[in-house]
Structure 1
Amino acid sequence: MKILLAYRANEEYCDAQQQVIPNGLYYIAALLLDNGFDVKLKNYSYWSNAKIRDDLREVNPDILGLTCYTFNAVSNFEVCSMAKEISRSVLTVLGGPHPGNVIDAIFEEIPSVDVITLGEGEMTFLDLVNAVKEKRDLESVMGIILRKGDSTLKTLPRKPNLDLDSLTIPAKYFQYLRLITTRGCPGDCIFCSTPAIWGRRIRKRSPEHILEELKLLKEQYGQTFFVFSDDTFTAHRRRTIRICQLIVEEKLDITWDCRSRVNFIDEEQLQWMRKAGCISIAYGLESGSPEVLKNLSKMITLEQIQKAADITRKAGMQLTFFLIVGSPGESDKTIEETIEVLRMTRPHDILVSIMSLTPDTHLCRKVGVPPKAWFTKMAKPYFYTEEHTLEEMEGYRDRIHAEFAQMHTAYTFEELVQLIRDEPDSAALPWNNVGLIYLSKGMVRDALGAFLRSVKLNHGYPHAWNNLGIASLQAGNRERALACFRKAARQHPEDIDIRMNLGRLHASLGNAEEARNSFEEILAIDYQHATAKAELRALNGGHASDALSLTAG
């Protein structure tokens, strides 16, 4: 029996992160491989329909499983239809956050869908595959809805898995950047579907299980940069500290970033996170207006925002805020309040989104989105326009960006020196930032010294290796620059700037094939990357530039 697990982004609108295979598919594939099944995992995100059809014919799966989000739902429906055109006998299965929210409409509108899984997919999909293998009735599989002639049948519900350590670690078979260490979120924000999917109770993997995953990824692939993609990585402070202690005790020499909430962080956690290689933390603020925060049910205060920002900067980490404009109650006044919070807290980066809707959220139910809206391929998100037009919300977003661009939020040289003095043994990040200041002033020799100190303190810091490569190149040492870029690219498999630097240096050295590989690897991460396409065209035309334009960070 052949099983194909696939993912396809929405080519009409998506960013690089939306083109990445979701962790859930890795978990399902690893579990099936552990149980001896013939499984192929494919990312169709940058494939044409013709290429997908050819691949479906070649693989000829008995079961096709697809992960479906709201933004890429129609793209996955198309893959189901293509599979059924090629083989009517293939069993098509949809999982992920979106299908369970519009079940009746999917079965009515998309005749090529046979089964929808509800909730967590690992054990449900394994049970489904075993049922097909054993020729059992699919009604025996808990946690699914299946097509039965002109009607549907919902089987008994499957309880959430309380022992996440029992799942196969996907790194046994696959390389990936993002790790999920918990399921569930304690929040109840009106725009978020996480509580509806995973529940508000947080289920946790053990620190030892997470350490095993990190070690597998480092030992098998040389990867040393990771992203903890949990909604609230620091929700359980003792667990967070223990994870960091294990990383330090094992001398992993890795770097990573994470997400959290401003009401689930404290100085002790941040101190251990810095020692363990955390270089950046992103907080979901959404707004700096108390009125909007209340309307969103964020359950955070301006005092908590200020404190989280202060202690994060004190720990020397990069501070990022997620913001949303166009929320219920948004106005010129609330936007100005958000801008004032940015002035007071000095984040290093902000990511500003426009309020959009997805099924099974409080806000979406309040608006009453017609079901057919989810069956048109999206050229953009389904925005919340009950109170403002899209143009007005874009104006709010642009206003925040313009104001933020005028703020001086980077660490000053004096702040960085103090951070190094306070914690000299875990100062890889401040030394890297000192090097960037030297580099910006043309002080190449001093920059080299700072970057060398950074990588000596943490050998697994790809951004510092990348910057050391740039400084080495400016000092005239191309061989060392090439070695640094190669090391950085191996440590961070999805950093486009690093691969661009590597490709451009190869091109300038006349290493056309190596340069081509680097640019093609960028397109595998982001198939819409215009600069990588231009570099490939230049290479193929024999016009590689001698002038190097490199990106530090």
Structure 2
Amino acid sequence: MKKKRVLLIYPYFYTGVIKDQLFPPLGISMLSASLKQKGIETMKLDCTFLTMAAAIEKAKAYKPDITGIYIMTTLEKNAIGLLKKLKKCNPGSLYIAGGPLATLYPQKFAEHFDCVFKGEAAISFPDFCDDYLKVNSGVEFLITSEGSKYPGIYSLKAATIDSPVMHLTKKEIDCCPIPDRQDFDHERYQCQSFKYSGKKTATIMMTYGCPFSCDFCSKPIFGNEVRFRCLEKIFEEIRDITSYGYDSLWIADDLFTWDLQFLEKFCERCIKEDLGISWSCLSRVDSLTDEIARIMKKAGCTKVYLGIESGNDVILKLMNKKIDTATVRRGVAVLKRNGINCTGFFIVGYPGETVETIEETFAFALSLEIEEISFNVPYPLPGSKLYERVSGIKDDDWTIENETRFLYKSEFNEQWLQERIQEIQLLNSGKYRRSLM
């Protein structure tokens, strides 16, 4: 008797564009671990270093009973293209969509897929797969199933099934197994990372959720409530990461540094266990002190990425950032005093800006004298307040990588902005090099 199988697909195909962050996909890794914990045979199909044809062949050979495809804004075109081809070679599989974009627009994707899982699906999706594979009744299972049993499920196969999203509790999160990182092409990932930074970096998440409501931000998966994983599970995962040869962590949480008590305990554990791994993280500028920055440095923190966004207080209010330029200066100074490198992220050309406010942001960025400054134009992510205000967005625009270009009708000249950004970045890199002499 053929063993029942689940295939999880991450439909990103690396284009060769230089990227500072290219990591094995965490989402399908987490689902794979939960499925395997239930005894379900599971394969992760990471398309990053494959061609479309090679990915199709691998999926065809595996012959899964359930195929799950992760969809975010930049991957929609790839996901739908894969789905059409897979339905031809594996017509008997049940096709399921998940991820941020599927969460935002379940009805749209339910027209292509058998069903959609919205939000955090680390428990509901494996439960669904386990039940579905036991009954062996195909799509009929969807027609007869009770939607409330699987939080976040959405389907149009019969009468509409639309179960509300339920965010995981801290207890549920801590009961989940660590992500399944087996069978990724770790050598290729490490090679790409080492070329850019001289480190072999993997990504990890330690918190879920964010209570802030920045105008340009969309958070369909994890919601507003902040939940912290237990340190035991975190360090179990870090040890697993190092077993694959990684020597650095990119902590991808929005709010890793928000709770200073949690951050201090993490740093103390890093120092105690001495795992020989460095790390970098995102941070708000208003959550750091000299005391915590010192222990972060001692614990292996090499760089902090700051979402500064603007050098004009009026524009910061427009973005609903809940910070001002004085707070930014204090936060940067804390990190610099304690020997931690900084990268500042800025957005220029925001709706409501003027050329004068953009120039203020350029001047402010240079005045901070941080190691790296990164500028981009606003990206109106689906689900954000910004997305609701702009027009002229095309789906194909999301496939463009590493280009400063507007995805909507803007009053600002793209070429001028591109040239000014390049000039400012050259000025900053020159100042930084001179400061090291």
CA deviation profile, 1:265-290 (whole Å, cap 9, x unmatched): 11111111100010000001111111
1:205 aligned to which of 211, 229, 237: 229
Cα deviation for residue 101 of structure 1 reads 1.4
SS in 1 for 2:215: coil
- Which runs of 5 or more structure 1 residues have no equivalent in the other structure? 414-436, 438-553
Contact 1:65 1:95 in 2 (8 A): yes
Change (3 A) 1:24 1:17: farther
SS in 2 for 1:409: helix
Change (3 A) 1:248 1:18: closer
Cα deviation for residue 344 of structure 1 reads 2.2
Aligned to 1:364: 387
2:427 aligned to which of 400, 406, 418: 406
CA distance in 2, matches of 1:18, 1:276: 22
1:352 aligned to which of 364, 375, 380: 375
Aligned length: 404
2:202 maps to 1:193: no
2:52 maps to 1:49: yes
Aligned to 2:161: 153
Cα deviation for residue 190 of structure 1 reads 1.2
CA distance in 2, matches of 1:399, 1:132: 56
2:162 maps to 1:141: no
CA distance in 2, matches of 1:68, 1:400: 31
2:188 maps to 1:167: no
CA distance in 2, matches of 1:410, 1:307: 23
Aligned to 1:216: 240
Contact 1:208 1:243 in 2 (8 A): no
Structure 2 letter corresponding to 1:193: S
2:272 maps to 1:264: no
User: Following superposition of structure 1 onto structure 2, how do residues 292-371 of structure 1 map, counting pairs within 5 Å?
Assistant: 292-367=315-390
Cα deviation for residue 147 of structure 1 reads 2.8
Structure 2 letter corresponding to 1:184: G
Cα deviation for residue 84 of structure 1 reads 0.9
Structure 2 letter corresponding to 1:161: T
Change (3 A) 1:245 1:376: closer
CA distance in 1, matches of 2:368, 2:163: 50
| Greater fraction helix | 1
Structure 2 letter corresponding to 1:143: G
Change (3 A) 1:411 1:213: farther
Aligned to 1:279: 302
SS in 2 for 1:312: helix
Change (3 A) 1:92 1:124: same
User: Following superposition of structure 1 onto structure 2, how do residues 228-267 of structure 1 map, counting pairs within 5 Å?
Assistant: 228-267=251-290
Contact 1:339 1:404 in 2 (8 A): no
Structure showing greater radius of gyration is: 1
Aligned to 1:457: none
CA distance in 2, matches of 1:82, 1:93: 15
Cα deviation for residue 324 of structure 1 reads 1.4
- Which runs of 5 or more structure 2 residues have no equivalent in the other structure? 136-140, 187-200
Cα deviation for residue 264 of structure 1 reads 1.4
SS in 2 for 1:350: strand
CA distance in 1, matches of 2:409, 2:398: 22
SS in 2 for 1:122: coil
Cα deviation for residue 375 of structure 1 reads 7.5
Contact 1:27 1:122 in 2 (8 A): yes
Cα deviation for residue 384 of structure 1 reads 5.0
Structure-1-length-normalised TM-score: 0.68
Cα deviation for residue 376 of structure 1 reads 8.1
Aligned to 2:75: 72
CA distance in 1, matches of 2:71, 2:24: 11
Cα deviation for residue 31 of structure 1 reads 1.3
Structure 2 letter corresponding to 1:116: V
2:82 maps to 1:98: no
Contact 1:182 1:233 in 2 (8 A): yes
Aligned to 2:196: none
CA distance in 2, matches of 1:62, 1:206: 34
Cα deviation for residue 16 of structure 1 reads 3.9
CA distance in 2, matches of 1:14, 1:84: 30
Change (3 A) 1:386 1:295: farther
Structure 2 letter corresponding to 1:74: K
Contact 1:335 1:396 in 2 (8 A): no
CA deviation profile, 1:125-163 (whole Å, cap 9, x unmatched): 1111112123264434232101315x6321354343332
